[in-house]
């Protein structure tokens, strides 16, 4: 498959995944077609060597794994970690409200999006709805509105004369609500909204109880550049890393390595990861321990397995944008299409250290893939990832890596076509590693 075809698969994956709940459902489909079996955390687990399994926690975090036939205490777990959520706007509980002759959709800011990028885009919303079934149980289903229903029109320059000098500043409470409809005298806003929801869910209005809904951009991903060597879509941070990890896991040679392979993709990274299903919660430790228990390992052997494990914490990196040279550390510019980026930070905002860094470099060399090293400007606070918290909790050696991209946390991010295939190739090397 060409590098571009791999990116087209990524764009199709993102376009099918307008919310973290949809991202997990899309990955679940790929796993089921590759003969993975779904496990439930409420049931007991019987795991066979060579078996392929996955477990979902609360619909938006997923851990897929292959039980290797090699000795787990000696070979450890080979883990790829990433996150399923992206910063953006979430619909408020009382979603619709009237403003003059118009109905607006109230939104809450989730994580740290670049808000100005949400203006003048073809927005809609998707997520999950909880309802009471006919049998009286609380059930959940995904919902997605395909057509563009929402918009945040910019203020005309005639009323915002300094916008090009001062940038677009939006008050999060008063200036972010999304325009939805002309108001109608016949219907109350809440009634209108639940009718809209049930029209999409095949439910009765009285069954609907609650929802979590993400605002998304209906524009599909695309290639751009003189040679079409770049691509753009929403949520590249971090669905690009989830897709790369999953592609590596589903590669047959990795599956046959005899290693115990794990892909752990968490929700809530953009808001600090502290939740039942976040990377700072118990999902990964619980799952690793249950794999060990199902293989009849004693506690000491489980701890040995952890000590022999390794995690690639994969999240996107900041590509050099030549229009803004002062934003970058001049000696650590990283570029798109130049290979995976190893992220380094002495203050442990990234989990990489010299040994894990060297190990990642050796997998790149083995895969014949170039790599780059990134250090943030010393006078600007550095972001972080799920790497430090997960490796601290489990005592697992880890490295923070990711592909370079532009416009992180914009609703329309960009990256380089070559890097996606590079990352998958290195991940495959890591999964197959026999040391």
Residues in 257-316 at the binding interface with Zn ion, rule: CB under 5 A: 315
Closer to Zn ion at the Cβ: 217 or 237?
237
Give the nearest distance from C-beta 362 to Zn ion in angstroms. Answer: 25
Give the nearest distance from C-beta 379 to Zn ion in angstroms. Answer: 22
Closer to Zn ion at the Cβ: 280 or 315?
315
Closer to Zn ion at the Cβ: 277 or 432?
277
Give the nearest distance from C-beta 430 to Zn ion in angstroms. Answer: 20
User: Does 413 participate in binding Zn ion (rule CB under 5 A)?
Assistant: no
Query: How buried is residue 95: exposed, middle or buried, by Cβ count under 10 Å (0-12/13-18/19+)?
Result: buried
Give the nearest distance from C-beta 135 to Zn ion in angstroms. Answer: 40
Contact 91, 196 (CB under 8 A): no
Give the nearest distance from C-beta 413 to Zn ion in angstroms. Answer: 10
**Cβ-proximal residues to 238 (8 Å cutoff; 6+ apart), any chain:** 82, 83, 84, 86, 269, 314, 315, 316, 402
DSSP string, 136-186: S-EEEEEEE--S--BB-PPPPGGG-TTHHHH-----TTTT-PEEEEE--SS
Give the nearest distance from C-beta 394 to Zn ion in angstroms. Answer: 20
- Where helices occur in 295-331 by DSSP H, the ranges are 299-307
Q: Which stretch binds Zn ion (CB under 5 A): 62-70, 131-139, 236-244, 326-334?
A: 236-244
Q: How far apart are CA 258 and CA 267, in angstroms?
A: 29
Task: Show the CA angle centred on residue 306, arms to residues 303 and 308, nearest 5°.
Answer: 110
Q: How far apart are CA 185 and CA 196, in angstroms?
A: 17
Closer to Zn ion at the Cβ: 218 or 235?
235
Closer to Zn ion at the Cβ: 22 or 52?
22
Give the nearest distance from C-beta 242 to Zn ion in angstroms. Answer: 10
Number of residues that bind Zn ion (CB under 5 A): 3
User: Does 237 participate in binding Zn ion (rule CB under 5 A)?
Assistant: yes
Show the binding pattern over residues 309-338: x = contacts Zn ion (CB under 5 A), - = does not: ------x-----------------------
Site for Zn ion (CB under 5 A): which residue of 117, 238, 356, 410? 238
Give the nearest distance from C-beta 34 to Zn ion in angstroms. Answer: 25
Q: Which residue has the tokens 């869910």?
A: 201
**Cβ-proximal residues to 64 (8 Å cutoff; 6+ apart), any chain:** 27, 31, 36, 52, 53, 54, 246, 249, 262, 263
Task: Identify the helix (H) or strand (E) that includes residue 221.
Answer: none
Closer to Zn ion at the Cβ: 238 or 410?
238
Closer to Zn ion at the Cβ: 250 or 314?
314
User: Does 86 participate in binding Zn ion (rule CB under 5 A)?
Assistant: no
272: left (phi over 0), alpha (psi -120 to 50) or beta: left
Closer to Zn ion at the Cβ: 75 or 414?
414
Closer to Zn ion at the Cβ: 267 or 315?
315
Give the nearest distance from C-beta 84 to Zn ion in angstroms. Answer: 10
Question: What are φ and ψ of residue 374, in 5° steps?
Answer: -120, 135
State the sign of the Cα–Cα–Cα–Cα dihedral 431, 432, 434, 435.
Answer: negative
- Alpha carbon 181 to chain centroid, angstroms: 31
Q: How far apart are CA 340 and CA 367, in angstroms?
A: 12
Closer to Zn ion at the Cβ: 19 or 238?
238
Give the nearest distance from C-beta 83 to Zn ion in angstroms. Answer: 6
Closer to Zn ion at the Cβ: 297 or 336?
336
Q: Which two structure tokens, joined as six digits, stand for 221?
A: 């991903």
**Cβ-proximal residues to 346 (8 Å cutoff; 6+ apart), any chain:** none
Query: How buried is residue 34: exposed, middle or buried, by Cβ count under 10 Å (0-12/13-18/19+)?
Result: middle
Contact 203, 134 (CB under 8 A): no
Give the nearest distance from C-beta 271 to Zn ion in angstroms. Answer: 12
* Residues found near Zn ion in the complex (CB under 5 A): 237-238, 315
């Amino acid at each position: 498959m060409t590098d571009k075809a791999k990116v087209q698969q990524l764009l199709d994956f993102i376009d099918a995944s307008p919310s973290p709940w949809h991202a997990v459902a899309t990955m679940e489909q790929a796993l089921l077609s590759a003969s993975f079996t779904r496990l439930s955390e409420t049931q007991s687990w019987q795991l066979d060597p060579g078996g392929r399994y996955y477990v979902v926690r609360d619909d938006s975090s997923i851990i897929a794994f292959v039980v290797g036939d090699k000795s787990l205490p000696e070979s450890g777990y080979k883990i790829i970690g990433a996150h399923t959520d992206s910063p953006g706007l979430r619909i408020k509980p009382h979603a619709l409200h009237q403003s003059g002759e118009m109905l607006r959709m109230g939104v809450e800011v989730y994580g740290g999006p670049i808000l100005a990028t949400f203006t003048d885009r073809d927005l809609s919303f998707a997520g999950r709805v909880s309802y009471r079934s006919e049998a009286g149980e609380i059930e959940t289903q995904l919902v997605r509105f395909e057509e563009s229903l929402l918009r945040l029109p910019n203020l005309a320059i005639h009323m915002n004369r300094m916008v090009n000098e001062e940038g677009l500043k939006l008050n999060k409470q008063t200036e972010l609500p999304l325009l939805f409809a002309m108001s109608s005298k016949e219907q109350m806003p809440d009634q209108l909204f639940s009718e809209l929801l049930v029209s999409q869910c095949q439910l009765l209005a009285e069954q609907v109880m609650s929802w979590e809904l993400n605002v998304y951009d209906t524009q599909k991903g695309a290639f751009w550049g003189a040679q079409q060597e770049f691509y753009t879509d929403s949520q590249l941070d971090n669905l690009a890393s989830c897709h790369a990890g999953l592609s590596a896991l589903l590669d047959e040679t990795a599956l046959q390595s005899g290693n115990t392979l794990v892909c752990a993709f968490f929700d809530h990274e953009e808001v600090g990861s502290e939740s039942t299903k976040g990377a700072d919660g118990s999902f990964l430790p619980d799952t690793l321990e249950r794999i060990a228990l199902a293989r009849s390992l004693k506690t000491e052997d489980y701890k040995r397995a952890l000590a022999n494990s390794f995690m690639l914490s994969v999240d996107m990196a900041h590509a050099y944008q030549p229009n803004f040279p002062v934003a970058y550390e001049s000696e650590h510019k990283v570029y798109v299409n130049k290979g995976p980026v190893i992220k380094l930070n002495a203050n442990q905002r990234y989990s990489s250290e010299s040994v894990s860094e060297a190990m990642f470099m050796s997998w790149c060399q083995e895969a014949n893939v170039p790599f780059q090293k990134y250090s943030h400007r010393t006078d600007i606070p550095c972001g972080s990832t799920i790497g430090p918290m997960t490796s601290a909790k489990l005592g697992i050696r880890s490295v923070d890596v990711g592909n370079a991209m532009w416009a992180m946390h914009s609703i329309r991010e960009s990256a380089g076509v070559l890097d996606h295939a590079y990352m998958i190739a290195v991940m495959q090397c890591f999964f197959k590693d026999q040391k």
